[in-house]
Amino acid sequence: MKLAVPDVISNSYFPAAAAIELGFFREEGLDVSLEMIFPVDKAYAALRDGAVDFVGGSSHSALAAFPEWQGAKLLCAQAQGMYWFFVMHKDLNAQRGDVSVVKGKSIGAAPWVEMGLRRLLIEAGIDLARDGVKIAPVPGAQGAGVNFGVTAAKALEERKIDGFWANGMGAEVAVRRGVGTVVLDVRRGDGPKPCFNYTMASIATTDALIARAPETAAAAVRAIVKTQKALRANPERATEVGQKLFPASEASLIAELIRRDLPFYDASITPGFVSGMNQFARDIGILKGNPRYEDVVATQFAPLWT
């Protein structure tokens, strides 16, 4: 079986990767390999087309391939909350929480990921056109096998962009290199309150797989929950995974990033989250209706979340 993620050298989808590398999928009787498919809409298209069995990506992005949530379900969360960081070049002297720094600036963000930043800025009172804000893909981030966060940090260092909206690894690399300042960390309280529930890192699969092999879907949920528990018990196990998947410099950072993320390691997907995500999706025009909680989430697996 195949599990697709849109970024590997990252903390964003680490529970999915670690579930494979630490053997928890195997413990549950599943032979799962990790496949990177960027950007995230292509990962969901691969799920729709049967090329992969699961996607560990941003939950709202399922709508790229499954309009109105027809044909797919969220199985569980990898972690709670919208998990991207807004980072500006250090020379701009940006202050934490001050989104006005975006005015007249060029911001790098991945396709579908950028939707979260656009809506956040609008809710914070920024008019993207009036205020001259350019949000576009990061130069050099479109090739196969490119890891977005570290590529964004490099582009910031080279002043190809003024800032970026990307994962915690990209933010950490930019800060440690002395080129970036974190302006927004949504999961830890920055930005308008609704933005926490715009999206989350989740595990999704198709209605067809759930119908055909419900025990396989259940096993995947159990594997993620076991992974979260193992990392909570010993965050240093993240280094073991990082050394298999990351360059040495990023492997040395991952345990600390995972330690910071542990408060958000909860596999549950609440009705409140789905309501917030649906509202966000309608606001940005990727959803027309108001699907029910059970139209979005495979609720039969909810008892496995804890």
Secondary structure of the chain as H, E, C letters: CEEEECCCCCCCCHHHHHHHHCCHHHHCCCCCEEEECCCHHHHHHHHHCCCCCEECCEHHHHHHCCHHHCCEEEEEEEECCCCCEEEEEHHHCCCCCCHHHHCCCEEEECCCCHHHHHHHHHHCCCCCCCCCCEEECCCCCCCCCCCHHHHHHHHHHCCCCCEEEECHHHHHHHHHCCCEEEEEEHHHCCCCHHHHHCCCEEEEEEHHHHHHCHHHHHHHHHHHHHHHHHHHHCCCHHHHHHHHHCCHHHHHHHHHHHHHHHHHCCCCCCHHHHHHHHHHHHHCCCCCCCCCHHHHECHHHHHHHC
Q: What is the pLDDT of residues 254-290, one digit of tens each?
A: 999 999 999 999 999 999 999 999 999 999 999 999 9
pLDDT score at 146: 58
pLDDT score at 139: 83
- Domain membership of residue 16 as a residue range: 2-81+199-305
pTM over 0.75: yes
Q: What is the pLDDT of residues 59-108, one digit of tens each?
A: 999 999 999 999 999 999 999 999 999 999 999 999 999 999 999 999 99
| Whether residues 89 and 166 fall in one domain | yes
Instruction: Tell me which amino acid residue 136 is.
Output: A
Q: What is the pLDDT of residues 28-54, one digit of tens each?
A: 999 999 999 999 999 999 999 999 999
Q: Give the span between the Cα atoms of 159 and 40, in whole angstroms.
A: 25
Domain boundary among 170, 195, 220: 195
pLDDT score at 63: 98
| Whether residues 179 and 204 fall in one domain | no
Q: What is the pLDDT of residues 5-15, one digit of tens each?
A: 999 999 999 99
pLDDT score at 147: 77
pLDDT score at 145: 57
Q: Domain total for the chain?
A: 2
| Whether residues 204 and 76 fall in one domain | yes
| Whether residues 235 and 301 fall in one domain | yes
pLDDT score at 140: 77
Annotate 96-126 with b (16+ C-beta within 10 A) or e (fewer): eeebebbeebbbbbbbbbbbbbbbbbebbeb
| Whether residues 119 and 215 fall in one domain | no
pLDDT score at 148: 84
Segment 156-185 shows an average pLDDT of: 97
| Whether residues 215 and 280 fall in one domain | yes
Domain boundary among 195, 216, 238: 195
Residue 217, both tokens: 């879907």
Nearest to 237 by CA among 214, 262, 220: 262
Q: What average pLDDT is seen over the chain?
A: 96
| Whether residues 40 and 168 fall in one domain | no
pLDDT(27) > 90: yes
Ramachandran region, residue 23 (left: φ > 0; alpha: ψ -120 to 50; beta: rest): left
Q: Give the span between the Cα atoms of 226 and 18, in whole angstroms.
A: 10
**What CATH number does residue 68 fall under?**
3.40.190.10
Q: What is the pLDDT of residues 120-166, one digit of tens each?
A: 999 999 999 999 999 999 987 765 455 788 899 999 999 999 999 99
Question: What pLDDT band is residue 243 in, cutting at 50, 70 and 90?
Answer: very high
Place of tokens 């492997």: 251
| Whether residues 11 and 64 fall in one domain | yes
| Whether residues 105 and 187 fall in one domain | yes
| Whether residues 251 and 184 fall in one domain | no
Question: What pLDDT band is residue 225 in, cutting at 50, 70 and 90?
Answer: very high
Domain boundary among 195, 215, 250: 195
pLDDT score at 173: 95
